[in-house]
C-alpha cells in the first residue's frame, strides 16, 4: 500500500497517478491510500492507516487462530497518550506507555504483515480485560489457552505478567485459571 505522497514520488504527478488508476495498474483503496491489488483486507488497511497501533483483544485472538469468531470491530491498542482514533471500525484500547510495546510481533495475514501482540501477551490481555467480554467468551478463550500452555513460552509469559499493571492479580489468575 502507498499513500498519495509515496505515489507522487513514484509516478511524478497526480496526472500519472490517474493514468495508473485508469489502466488498472493501481487501485484507490480508500481516500489517499492506493495499492497495486484491487482487494486489501480491512485489517491490513487499518494497520497501514494507523501505524502506531497494534492489534489486540478479539482481533488478535482471531489472527492467532485462538477463535474462529470474526470480530465485528477491529481492536487496536495505542499508547495511553495517543490521540483518539475516530474510525467507527475500530475499538481502541489505551495502554500504559511502559507496557504498550511489550510483546509486539508481526504476523502474516492474507499476504500482509500485521503488528499484533504475541500469544503470551494476549493471555495477559485476556485476564486484564475479562470484564469487557462475556463470561462465556472468556471461559472459551481460557480453555483454549489451557490446551496451548505447554507450547507457550512460560518464562516470557511470567515476565509480561510481572510488567503488567496489577501484576499480582494477573499472576494469581494465571496460577488458578491456566496452570
pLDDT digits (tens, 9 = 90+) for 134-178: 999 999 999 999 999 999 999 999 999 999 999 999 999 999 999
Q: Rounded CA gap, 9 and 17, in Å?
A: 10
So what's the pLDDT on residue 73?
96
What strands lie across the sheet with 104-109, from one edge to the other?
Answer: 90-95, 74-79, 54-55, 112-117, 104-109
- Stretches where the chain sits below pLDDT 70 are none
Q: Across the strands, what pairs with 105?
A: 116
Residue 83 C-alpha cell reads as 490521540
Residue 78 C-alpha cell reads as 495505542
So what's the pLDDT on residue 36?
94
Please state, as a whole number, how many other Cβ atoms lie within 10 Å of the Cβ of residue 179: 9
Q: At 101, is the secondary structure helix, strand, or coil?
A: coil
Residue 33 C-alpha cell reads as 491510500
Q: At 117, is the secondary structure helix, strand, or coil?
A: strand
Please state, as a whole number, how many other Cβ atoms lie within 10 Å of the Cβ of residue 164: 22
Distance (Å) of CA 168 to CA 162, 163, 164: 7, 10, 9
What predicted TM-score, i.e. pTM, was given to this entire model?
0.93
Q: Across the strands, what pairs with 109?
A: 112
Amino acid at each position: 500500500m502507498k499513500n498519495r505522497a509515496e505515489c507522487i514520488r513514484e509516478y511524478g504527478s497526480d496526472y500519472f497517478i490517474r493514468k495508473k488508476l485508469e489502466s488498472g495498474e493501481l487501485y484507490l483503496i480508500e481516500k489517499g491510500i492506493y495499492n497495486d491489488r484491487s482487494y486489501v483486507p480491512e485489517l491490513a488497511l487499518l494497520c497501514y492507516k494507523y501505524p502506531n497501533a497494534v492489534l489486540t483483544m478479539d482481533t488478535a485472538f482471531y489472527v492467532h487462530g485462538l477463535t474462529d469468531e470474526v470480530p465485528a470491530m477491529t481492536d487496536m491498542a495505542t499508547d495511553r497518550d495517543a490521540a483518539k482514533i475516530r474510525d467507527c471500525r475500530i475499538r481502541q484500547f489505551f495502554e500504559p506507555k511502559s507496557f504498550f510495546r511489550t510483546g509486539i510481533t508481526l504476523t502474516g495475514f492474507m499476504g500482509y504483515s500485521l503488528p499484533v501482540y504475541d500469544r503470551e501477551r494476549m493471555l495477559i490481555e485476556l485476564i486484564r480485560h475479562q470484564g469487557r467480554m462475556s463470561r462465556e467468551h472468556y471461559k472459551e478463550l481460557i480453555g483454549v489457552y489451557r490446551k496451548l500452555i505447554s507450547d507457550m513460552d512460560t518464562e516470557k509469559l511470567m515476565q509480561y505478567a510481572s510488567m503488567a499493571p496489577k501484576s499480582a492479580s494477573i499472576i494469581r489468575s494465571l496460577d488458578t485459571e491456566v496452570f
